[in-house]
Structure 1
Amino acid sequence: MNAVVQCVNSTPGLSEFLVHLDCTSYSGEPTHGETVQELAAIVKALWSGRHKSESLHDLKNAMGRRHACFRDSAQQDAHEFLLCLLNSLHEELTDVSRKQMLREQDNDGVPDSRAIKLLQDDSQSSSQSPISNLFGGQYKSTLRCVSCGNQSAKFEAFSHLSVPMPARASQCSLHECIQLFVEGDTISGWTCPECQSSDGATKRLDIRRLPPVLIIHIQRFYNDGAWKKNQSSVLFPLKNLDMSPHLATEDAHQQHHRYHLYGVVNHYGSMDSGHYTAFCRAPNTDRWHKYDDHQVHERSGGSVQSSAGYLLFYSAIDQRL
C-alpha cells in the first residue's frame, strides 16, 4: 500500500485533483465515496508537510469494506491493490454526477428536459471519470482461427498494460516486453464460429489509444506447476519512452506516444517472502526519492533502473490536464 500510494501521490493531474477536492457539502455531508475521501485526506496530508509520515490505516479499512481480500492482515500483491484502488476511485467518482443529478431532481431543481439530457449523458459517459480520463486507453483484440483463418475483433478499454517477460532471458528491454504483449498468444480450446474447429486461435492486440498516464505492469510472477518469480532485469527508460512502434499503424498520429517515468514500485525478494518500495520523481525539483515505508531518501536516476522494477508509472510528455 505504501509504495502504490506514493506513486499515486506523484501522478501528475491526480494529486492536484485530490488536493483541491472538496469531500463535504456545505451541510457537512460527504459528497464522495469513502475511498476517494480517505485517499484525498492522505494526499492532502502528505503535501501539507505537517508530519514526517502518515498512516494508511483508514484507507486500508475503506478498501477492506469494498474488497474482501484487504479485510485482514494477509500479504497482498501491489499490482492487485493498485487495480482495486483505481477501480474503487473510478466507480465512486463516476457515481458523483449521477447522485447530484438525482438529488437536484428530488428537490425539483432540474426541469424534465434537462433531467432527461443528464440521464442520456450519464448513460453515454458511464465509463468516464477523472480516473479513466487519466489512465484509460484502448486496444483492439483480434482472434484468428488457426484452421480457416477467420478473424473476429473487439475493442477493449485498459487502465494499464500487463506485459510478459521473454522466457529464459537474464536481461531484456521494456520494448521487448511490450512487443510480446501486442503479439499476443495462442488460445487453446477456442471454437471457431465459422468452421466450428476447436483447434484454437491466435490472439493479437493492437493499441489504438494511449492515456496521459501509462502504467506498465511487468509480469514477474508466473505459475510453472508452482508460483515463482522471474528475477530477470528489465531495462526501462527514465526519459522519452517512445510507444509509437507499438501503436496500430493507422493510429500512429494519436495524441500521446512519448513518456517520461515518474514512479516505480519495486519488489525485492521471492514469491514466498518479499518487500515493496517505491521510487518517485518530485515534480518541482525533478529529483528522485526512494520511499521505504516511513523512510525517504534522495536517490540518483541510475539507481531507479534495477531488476526489482515491478510497476512503472509514465506520464505523457505532451500531457495537458
Structure 2
Amino acid sequence: MGAAGSKLEKVFGDQFPEGERYFGLENFGNTCYCNSVLQALYFCVPFREQLLEYYANNKNVGDAGENLLTCLADLFTQINSQKKKTGVIAPKRFVQRVKKENEAFRSYMHQDAHEFLNFLLNVLVDILEKGSKDAKSTPETKSTLEKVTDGPCPPQANGFHKEPLITWVHENFQGILTNETRCLRCETVTARDETFLDLSLDIEQNSSITNCLKNFSSTETLNAEDKFFCDKCCSLQEAQKRMKIKKPPQILVIHLKRFKYIEQLGRYKKLSYRVVFPMELKLSSSVNDPDSEYSLFAVVVHVGVGPNHGHYVSLVKSHNHWLCFDDENVEMIDEAMMQSFFGSAQEYSSNTDHGYILFYESTNRKS
C-alpha cells in the first residue's frame, strides 16, 4: 500500500483535503464484506463525527466495557488520528468482536455486506439505547416492515425500535414509512407508521432507482385469499394497499435486491440487471415532502456472479473526489466510471461489478 498511498498523495498534490485520511483495511480472510461497509460508514461524515465524539467520551471504559460500538469508535479514531495521510489499518479488534457477537460471521466463507450492515446498525442502537438515560421519545413503531410478497425474501426496510428512545444512529439513518390500506367497500383508510434504517428494493432489468422507488410505493390490491379485515365493516373486504415514505432520513441507504431465489434451481442467483443510480436523487414521487433531495456519497459494490462467492469494494465520494477502497488498496477514480457499476444490459456479461448498497445524504434536511 506504500506505493499506492504515495501515488494517491501525488494525485492530490497540494490539494490533499486537510484533516482527511484515506486508509485501506486489511482483509482477514473474506472480510471484504466488513471492510466495504466500514469505509462507506467512515465517509458518512455526520456518523463519523458522532462516533469520534462517542470515543472521546468513553475511551476509558476498559476491556470489561468493550463492545461493538467501542471497537468501531476505536477503529474510526485510529484512522482519523493517523499522522500519515494514507496507509493501511488492520481492523483486527473490530473483526474479532464481530465474530464474537455473531456466529454467522465466524467462518471464512463469503458473507453478505447488507446483512452485516443491518446487523451492525442493530447492535449499535441496542448498545446506545441501553446506555441512554436522557433520550427523546419517538412515536410507537414496529420492529419489522411487513409487505405482501412472493418469494422467500420479502421487501423490508429493516426497521426496528425496541424502546421509545432515539439515538444518533437513528438521527442519521432512521426514516418513517406509512403503510396505508383502503377498504374498497367503505373507503376507510387504515394507516400504520413504521420506522426503517434502510430500504430493500426489488429490481428489474434496465431500470433506475427512481423507478424502483415508484414500484416500492405502488398500489397493491388485496383480494381472494388476501382480503383485508376492515374494522368498520367488521368483515373481510377487498382493499388497496400501498407504502409511502412519510419522513425521509438524513442518510438514505438503499439496498438493491440482487440475489433472488430461483425455485427451479433450488438456490439463489445474482441478478446482474442494469439499474441506474443517479448522483443526485429526488424522492418527490415517494414522499409527502416534494423537496426531498439527496446526493450519492458511497456505493458498496458486489463483484462476482453469485451470492456465495465474490468480492466487495466500496466507492466513496470525499471532498468532491471519488475513491475506490478495495481492502488494502485505495485509488482515485473518475466520476464517469460510476456508470460501469450500474449493472449489465445483457443477462450474461463479463462485467460482474454491480452496485449493491447505495448511501445518499440529504442536501436540504437537517434533522
> The TM-score by the shorter chain falls in which range?
0.7 to 0.9
Q: CA deviation at 1:16?
A: 1.2
Task: Answer whether contact 1:220 1:231 (CA < 8 A) is retained.
Answer: yes
Pairing partner for 2:310 from 265, 274, 285 = 274
In structure 1, distance between residues paired with 2:65 and 2:47? 15
Report the TM-score when normalising by structure 2.
0.70
Gaps of 5+ in 2: 1-33, 140-162, 344-353
Aligned equivalents of 1:27, 1:165: Cα separation in 2: 46
Q: 1:95 to 1:233 in 2, by over 3 A?
A: same
- Contact 2:302-2:312 at 8 Å conserved across structures: yes
1:122 offset after TM fit, Å? 6.6
Q: Who is 2:272 aligned against?
A: 231
Aligned position for 1:290: 324
In structure 1, C-alpha distance between the alignment counterparts of 2:283 and 2:198, rounded to whole Å: 14
Opposite residue 246 of structure 1, the aligned amino acid is: S
Contact 2:314 2:325 (8 Å CA) reproduced: yes
Shift of 1:269: 1.1
Partner of 1:130: 168
Structure-1 residue corresponding to 2:359: 313
Native 8 Å contact 1:139 1:156 kept in 2: yes
* Range moving further from structure 2, 204-213 or 138-147: 138-147
Normalising by structure 1, report the TM-score.
0.80
1:302 and 2:348 correspond:
no
**Per-residue deviation, residues 50-107 of structure 1 (Å, max 9, x unmatched):** 5721223322222233333123323211001001111111111222223xxxxxxxxx
Please report the RMSD computed on the Cα atoms of aligned residues, expressed in angstroms: 2.9
| Matching residue of 1:95 | 130
- One-letter amino acid of the counterpart of residue 314, structure 2: A
State whether residues 265 and 312 of structure 1, in contact with CA within 8 Å, keep that contact through their aligned partners in structure 2. yes
Change (3 A) 1:66 1:27: closer
Report the structure, 1 or 2, having the larger helix content.
Answer: 1
State the partner residue of 1:241.
Answer: 281
Over residues 117-136 of structure 1, what are the superposed CA-to-partner deviations in whole Å (9 max), with x where a residue is unaligned? Answer: x69x6798733100001000
1:240-293 deviations in whole A, cap 9, x for unaligned? 311122113xx446xxx11111100001112242111010011xx311100111
What amino acid does structure 2 have at the position aligned with 1:242? K
Secondary structure class of the residue paired with 2:164:
coil
Give the whole-Å Cα distance in 2 for the aligned partners of 1:243 and 1:32.
41
Q: Deviations over 1:141-174 (max 9, x none)?
A: 12356788765321100101111112xx2x2111
Change (3 A) 1:25 1:316: closer
SS in 2 for 1:193: strand
The answer to whether the 8 Å contact 1:25/1:31 transfers is no
Equivalence map 1:155-234=2 (5 Å): 155-166=193-204, 169=205, 171-183=206-218, 185=220, 189-194=225-230, 196-197=235-236, 202-225=240-263, 226-234=267-275
How many residues are matched? 289
Q: Deviations over 1:221-254 (max 9, x none)?
A: 111213111101111111x311122113xx446x
Shift of 1:37: 0.8
Equivalent residue, structure 2, for 1:43? 76
Q: 1:61 to 1:153 in 2, by over 3 A?
A: same
When structure 1 is superposed on structure 2, of 208-217 and 18-27 the one drifting more is 18-27
Please tell me the residue identity of whatever aligns with 2:53: H
Residue equivalent to 2:7: none
- Residue 52 in structure 1 maps to residue 87 in structure 2: yes
The residue identity in structure 1 corresponding to 2:170 is S
Displacement after TM superposition at 1:27 (Å)? 6.5
Q: Which runs of 5+ in 1 are unaligned?
A: 99-117
2: CA distance, partners of 1:142 / 1:299? 43
Shift of residue 42 of structure 1?
1.3
Change (3 A) 1:26 1:7: closer
Tell me whether 173-182 or 16-25 shows the greater mean CA deviation: 16-25
Identity %: 26
Counterpart contact for 1:12–1:315, Cα < 8 Å: no
